[in-house]
Amino acid sequence: MEKKKKKKNNNSKKMKSNKKLMIVESPAKIKTISKFLGENFQIMSTFGHVKDLPPKKLGVTVDEQGKISIEYSVIENKNKLIKDICKTASKSKEIYLASDPDREGEIISWHIGQEIEKIFPDKSKIYRITFNEITKPAITDAIEHKTIIDLNKVNAQQARRVLDRWVGYEVSPILWRKIAKGLSAGRVQSVALLLICNREEEVLIFKPDEYWSVQALFIFKKTTIESELFKISNKTFKLKNKQETDKVLGEIKKEKFSVEKITEKKRFKRPLPPFMTSTLQQDSYNKLGFSVDKTMSVAQKLYEGVSFGDKDKQEALITYMRTDSLRISNTAIKDSRNYISKKFGSDYLPKATNVYTKKGAQDAHEAIRPINVGITPQIASRHLTPDQTKLYSLIWKRFVACQMAPAQYFQRQLLIKGKKYTFKTTGSTLMFDGFLKVYMVETEEDKQTIKIPKEIKEKDSLPLKKVDGKQHFTQPPSRYSQATLVKELEKKGVGRPSTYAAILSTIQKRKYAKFEKKRFHPTELGKTVNNMLIKNLPDIINISFTAHMEEDLDKIEAGKIKRDSVLNEFYEKFKKDLVAFGGKIATKKALETKLKCPKCGKSLMIRFGKTGEFLGCSKFPECKFTSNFKRDEKGEIHMVKEEVKETEIKCPKCGKMLVKKIGRFGPFYACPGYPECKYIHQESLKMPCPQCGEKIVKRRWKGGNFWGCSGYPKCQFAIFGEVEETPCPKCNSPYLLIKKDKQKNIIFSCPNKECDYTKKD
Q: Which residues are catalytic?
A: 320
How remote is the C-alpha of 650 from its chain's centroid?
48
**Nearest CA to 324 among 503, 486, 481?**
486
Reduced to 3 DSSP states, what percent helix, strand and coil does the chain have, rounded to the nearest 5? 35, 25, 40
Say which DSSP state 316 is in.
Answer: -
**Nearest CA to 259 among 464, 465, 462?**
462
| Residue 549 phi, psi (nearest 5) | -65, -40
Burial of 756 (0-12, 13-18, 19+ CB in 10 A): exposed
In three-state form (DSSP H/G/I as H, E/B as E, the rest C), the secondary structure along 238-251 is CECCHHHHHHHHHH
CA distance 156 to 630: 44
* CB count in 10 Å sphere of residue 443: 15
Amino acid (1-letter code) at residue 302: L
Q: Can you name the residues that pair with 663 across neighbouring β-strands?
A: 666
CA distance 590 to 616: 9
Q: Can you name the residues that pair with 261 across neighbouring β-strands?
A: 415
554 Cβ contact partners less than 8 Å away, ≥ 6 residues apart: 156, 360, 362
Say which DSSP state 754 is in.
Answer: T
Counted residue by residue, the chain has a size of 761
Burial of 580 (0-12, 13-18, 19+ CB in 10 A): exposed
Q: Can you name the residues that pair with 229 across neighbouring β-strands?
A: 423
**Distances from the Cα of 134 to the Cαs of 36, 311, 389, in angstroms?**
9, 17, 19
Q: Can you name the residues that pair with 629 across neighbouring β-strands?
A: 639
Amino acid (1-letter code) at residue 478: S
Give the sheet arrangement for strand 20-24, strand by strand. Answer: 41-45, 20-24, 94-97, 126-128
Give the sheet arrangement for strand 718-719, strand by strand. Answer: 696-701, 704-709, 718-719
How remote is the C-alpha of 185 from its chain's centroid?
18
CA distance 273 to 368: 10
